[in-house]
Structure 1
Amino acid sequence: MSRTRIDLFRLSAIFIILLAIIFFYVYLFFPSLVTKSLRVGTLRKPINLLILGTDITFNAETGKPIPNLEGRADTILLAHIDPINSRINMVSIPRDTLVNIPGYGDRKINSANSYGGIPLMKETVAQLTKQKIDYYISIKPTAVTKMVDQLGGVSLYVENDMRYVDRAQGLDIDLKKGWQKLSGKQAHDYIRYRHDYQGDIGRVNRQQIFLKSFREALTKPTNIFKAPLAIHLALREIKTNLPPAVSVRLLNMARMLSVNSVNTTTLSGEVANIQTAGSVWLPNDKENIKIFEDFF
């Protein structure tokens, strides 16, 4: 082999190694710049994921949580994760939505979790939305606190001063208006607060804002090594039927999406007062059919 051919071979090898290093760097720290054809370890087909945030019931006298008591669902989202079109669409379902809970009749949807746990919650949401639910993830408030603290906080705009105390729910909320980086407890308080003129719908909007801010924190280049630890710390507070391989692909896909690829909306409806259930969110079936046609 001539010296010229050896030099060309070495130059080609060096060039390939440099390309590999560049690709690895971009893949780790700027994943949204990687084209679809070069993405590996991500989902290959769309899935529907039910996301639940359950509350914890506290003893009003001692202030301590009551163990082994299945709480109501404070947060209910149905997400359509579409790797083919590189997007995640999420529909928030207000906790006071009036639905027919199988075996229990017309009740607020958040009570389905306390009546029959995740199986009944899945059945109720599937019946309401007419969508198949592939997987679920149920998160306790303490999981949010641990993950946010591990990531160094989440940055968002608190739209108003928020002050509320509830010993039965273990809440002592004290947030000030303005842009700020929230700690784990502050983030938990932000997504639980509902005592303004919008009530539960205002809380749904804040949960959507938090989810986008949390995703940004989770996928920041500086948190590339913190994210797995944050999730590991919260695993004891999370129930899911997501297989580990699917979980990894899902997280990897989330890293590669731009902010504009994550869309949120709320189940259409209106506030109504029902004698048997009090103030509820009454779904608009016609408008909701259109929402799920567009989003799923």
Structure 2
Amino acid sequence: MPPRPATPSPRSSAAPGGTAAPARRSRSRSSNARVLLRLALVAAGMVGGLSLLGLIWPKPDPGLENQGDRSVSDLAKPPNRPITVLVIGVDADQLGQATNKAAPPGPANADALLLLRVNPGGPLQVLALPPSLAVKLPGRPGLQSLGSLYRTGGAALTADAARELVGLPRQEPHRYLVLSRGALRSLVDELGSLEVNPNATMKYRDKRQGLTIDIQSGLQRLKGTQVEHLLRYRSPDSPLQSRLSSQEAVIRSLLNELSQSSRVEMLPPLVQKLRGQVQSNLTPTEVLSLMAAVLKPDQAVAFAVVPLEPPRDAPAGADLRELAKSAPRPLWPEPSGPAAPAGS
């Protein structure tokens, strides 16, 4: 079974005493084998989904590639059906690094998790999945954070957990995109800067990470490293909410920047340039197709957050948060209104 979000009152999973040690080791090996088998099946499902999605994305018109059109819709056609993409922002400077040089140190964790639903003819839906959400991985003792699943099983396991948590169909999320902090900086610097409007001054220093954040409040344009610092900053009063608010502000600014008519001609080379800095099963053509759907004038964007219970006063696992008892079902409803066009 896939990982599940922790219930509000998780039961203890402690094993009996020492006489059962051989049996525990046997069960552990069996559980690990089941986990590996499930990961292989998830990965196979992702690969198999590529051919099916060929029916959703229209084939690009090669005659448009060098015409210098100033509309993103002329670079690629939007998909014919809603497409769900899982965006995983990891806390490493580059993908594949042995250590993330973050806190706590070690292999990369997911520092930001976003589900995007691109609706042709409808709003772009963004669902933030807090990395601190507690989940129970089958075959593993105790709880762990949703963000740590990337360290355990990469994009496949993280997508599996997101699907289970949100209640998505088996074939979703259709695509995934993993980007490092370095990739984020490169994206912003290729655009020159992003306009943001922090409502408070952000100051923080951590010598262990070599991190110094110093961002003033007010409307301003930030370079890549400053945008990274904006997203990493956590307010002492509301650490989770401050990060989620910064994520929303940066996404809105990115969409606004990319939708400018002066940016259209740079989009294909930008996608190609960043391709080597990310991990994804999106092709460049599919990226442009999604851009054609979301970079339209007056494109509506609907943000939502998976609600969590307040943090518990417990030293062990203090960062873990449980799914709120009041969480709506479904967690991420599709938008009401006219259905997306079928197309061909």
Which TM bucket (shorter chain)?
Answer: 0.7 to 0.9
TM-score by length of 2: 0.68
Matched, 1:45 2:81: yes
Distance in 2 between the 1:47 and 1:159 partners?
A: 33
Matched, 1:151 2:183: no
The answer to which structure has the higher helix fraction is 1
Matched, 1:93 2:129: yes
Distance in 2 between the 1:242 and 1:207 partners?
A: 22
- Which of 166, 175, 178 is the equivalent residue of 1:138? 178
Go from structure 1 to structure 2 and tell me whether the alpha carbon gap of 1:279 and 1:230 turns closer, same or farther (over 3 Å shift): same
Aligned to 1:127: 164
Go from structure 1 to structure 2 and tell me whether the alpha carbon gap of 1:40 and 1:182 turns closer, same or farther (over 3 Å shift): closer
Distance in 2 between the 1:128 and 1:117 partners?
A: 17
Aligned to 2:272: 232
Matched, 1:111 2:148: yes
Aligned to 1:74: 111
Aligned to 1:12: none
- Whether the aligned pair in 2 keeps the contact of 1:272 and 1:281 (CA below 8 Å) is yes
Q: Secondary structure at the match of 2:204?
A: strand
TM-score by length of 1: 0.78
- Whether the aligned pair in 2 keeps the contact of 1:151 and 1:226 (CA below 8 Å) is no
Which residues of 2 match residues 56-71 of structure 1 at below 5 A? 56=92, 70-71=107-108
Aligned to 1:243: 283
Shift of 1:168: 4.2
Distance in 1 between the 2:119 and 2:311 partners?
A: 34
Go from structure 1 to structure 2 and tell me whether the alpha carbon gap of 1:188 and 1:39 turns closer, same or farther (over 3 Å shift): closer
Structure 2 counterpart of 1:166, one-letter code: D
Structure 2 counterpart of 1:109, one-letter code: L
Go from structure 1 to structure 2 and tell me whether the alpha carbon gap of 1:119 and 1:102 turns closer, same or farther (over 3 Å shift): farther
Which residues of 2 match residues 246-285 of structure 1 at below 5 A? 246-256=286-296, 258-259=298-299, 261-273=300-312, 276-284=316-324
Shift of 1:199: 0.5
Shift of 1:94: 1.1
Unaligned runs of 5+ in 2: 1-66, 337-344
Go from structure 1 to structure 2 and tell me whether the alpha carbon gap of 1:170 and 1:238 turns closer, same or farther (over 3 Å shift): farther
Aligned to 1:20: none
Q: How many residues align?
A: 258
Structure 2 counterpart of 1:272, one-letter code: P
Q: Secondary structure at the match of 1:178?
A: coil
Distance in 1 between the 2:139 and 2:265 partners?
A: 46
Aligned to 2:28: none
The percentage of counterpart residues that share the same residue type is 21
Unaligned runs of 5+ in 1: 1-23
- Whether the aligned pair in 1 keeps the contact of 2:109 and 2:151 (CA below 8 Å) is yes
Distance in 1 between the 2:335 and 2:309 partners?
A: 20
Deviates further, 44-53 or 97-106: 97-106
Shift of 1:280: 2.7
Q: Secondary structure at the match of 2:158?
A: helix
Shift of 1:92: 0.3
- Whether the aligned pair in 2 keeps the contact of 1:94 and 1:201 (CA below 8 Å) is no
Shift of 1:207: 0.5
Structure 1 counterpart of 2:267, one-letter code: A
Render the CA deviation track for 1:158-208: whole Å, top value 9, x for unaligned: 111111123444422110011001111111111111133110221012101
Which residues of 2 match residues 163-178 of structure 1 at below 5 A? 163-178=203-218
Aligned to 2:202: 162
- Whether the aligned pair in 2 keeps the contact of 1:139 and 1:237 (CA below 8 Å) is yes
Shift of 1:120: 1.2
Go from structure 1 to structure 2 and tell me whether the alpha carbon gap of 1:211 and 1:161 turns closer, same or farther (over 3 Å shift): same
Structure 2 counterpart of 1:106, one-letter code: L
What RMSD over aligned residues (CA atoms) do the two structures have, in Å? 2.8
- Whether the aligned pair in 1 keeps the contact of 2:196 and 2:222 (CA below 8 Å) is yes
Q: Secondary structure at the match of 2:332?
A: helix
Structure 2 counterpart of 1:281, one-letter code: R
The answer to which structure has the higher strand fraction is 1
Shift of 1:285: 5.4
- Whether the aligned pair in 2 keeps the contact of 1:101 and 1:109 (CA below 8 Å) is no
Render the CA deviation track for 1:128-182: whole Å, top value 9, x for unaligned: 1111311100110111111111112111101111111234444221100110011
